Every structure is written in structure tokens, then in C-alpha cells.
Structure 1
Amino acid sequence: MTSLTCSHLATLHSTDLFFIADCFPLPEELDISDPREFIYHSSLHDGVEAISLPLFKLCKVNLSRHHYINGQPLFHLINNCKLLEEVIVFSCHRLTISCIASACRKRPTLTVSISITSEQTTMQLLYVCLLV
């Protein structure tokens, strides 16, 4: 199996992420986007770190609408998933321009798909991408 899609789950708990890491260790693509409800936001950071360690073949991950996501889980993925090429993070409002810029500097071949909420943010991101 090279792709695992678990999008639009009713709830998502960090134990679900540990389960994915244990039972599906070799996916190249993982889509856990758009959960309806998160259980214990703070522990989900640990869950993202947990999936980043054994999923060494991961090339693409979709974390859209994981509202708790900030730079920490993103950096775990970049540091631990050496083959990672694409991260999709639509509606992840805690990710900052500086987080995305740091990710691009750390992994220049990385594609980060994000949603832009304002013209000012679009201009800041364009400027950051030109600098990287």
C-alpha cells in the first residue's frame, strides 16, 4: 500500500495517529485532512511527531484543517521524513509565514500548499518565497 486516506473522520485523537504509524508503516502519501472534531489538541502534536518517525517513505501529507498545527509538527515531518516533497495545510491558521519560510529553507524542494486569507499575507508569502 502506497497511499492511505483517512480524511473527514468524525473525530481524531493522537492515538489514531499512533495506530496509523504502527499499522501502516510504508505509505508514500497520507491524507488525514478535514477531521470534524479533534480530541486533546495538545496531544495531537505528539501524534504528528509519532507518525513522522516510522513513516520514512512518506512523500506527501495532507493536514488540511488541522487547526492546532503550528511550526513544531511541520518541522518534525521535515526533519524525520527525508523523502517528503509536499505538505498540504489548507486552513491551518496557526502556521505563520516564518514557519513556512523556515520549512522552505530547510527543504528547498518542498512544496507547501496553503490557503491565504488576506492580500497582505499573500504579499508577505511571495516576498518570503523570493528570498528563499
Structure 2
Amino acid sequence: MADELSRVFAALADPTRRDMVARLAVSDATVSQLAEPYDVSIQAVSKHLKVLADAGLVTRTREAQTRPVHLEAEVFDLMTKWIERYRRQAEERYQRLDRLLEEMNDGPAMRTGGDDNTTEKGKAS
């Protein structure tokens, strides 16, 4: 699983590939359609698609004379589970920190009140 995640995150590290994934999330597209908004060759787009395919993010099918590229959304489930696990751990740490800060705020407030009274008495003397 870790190697698969590493390939997925490495594939998505490139902004062009992230943009292609975002476009494929809307609908399947051919290599030519994916190449349209970029100032790169069809070969460059094909190389990007190979990286995405090797990571399991896209597949290509054959429909008549075209070979549309399809986004494999299941891979995002794997990423989501991994991210969610660490999000939960971070949330638990923040909750512990919140409790600690609350305890620290409650404790010094009582001590500060006592110190303030002592200070006031000292001033009055």
C-alpha cells in the first residue's frame, strides 16, 4: 500500500498531471483533448498519462476509433483513507492540547487571583 501511495502522490506532484486529473474528474477525454490547453506535444501529454496510469490513477479504453482516458476514482479512496488516518491523529493531538491549555488556564487563574490579593495587601500596607 505504501508503494502504491508513493506512486500516486509522486504522480500528483506535477501541476500539469493534477490539472489533467481534475479535468478527467468531469469526463473522460482523449489524449488530444487533454493536450489542448497546454503548450506541449501530444508525446509530452502521453508521458504524463503514462505516469498517471503507472500510479493507477487513469486507464485507457477503446471506443470505436478513439482511446479515451478514464479516471480511476478508487485510487482516491486509498488516498482518502491514508489522509483521514493522519487527520484523526492530528485531531486527537489538538484535543489533548486543548485540554492541557484549558487546565493550564484554569490553574494559573486561581493562583493569579491569590497573587493579586497578596499584591493588593502589600500595596495597602
Query: TM-score under structure 2 normalisation?
Result: 0.24
In proportion to residue count, which structure has more strand?
Answer: 1
Query: TM-score under structure 1 normalisation?
Result: 0.24
In proportion to residue count, which structure has more helix?
Answer: 2
Bigger radius of gyration among the two? 2
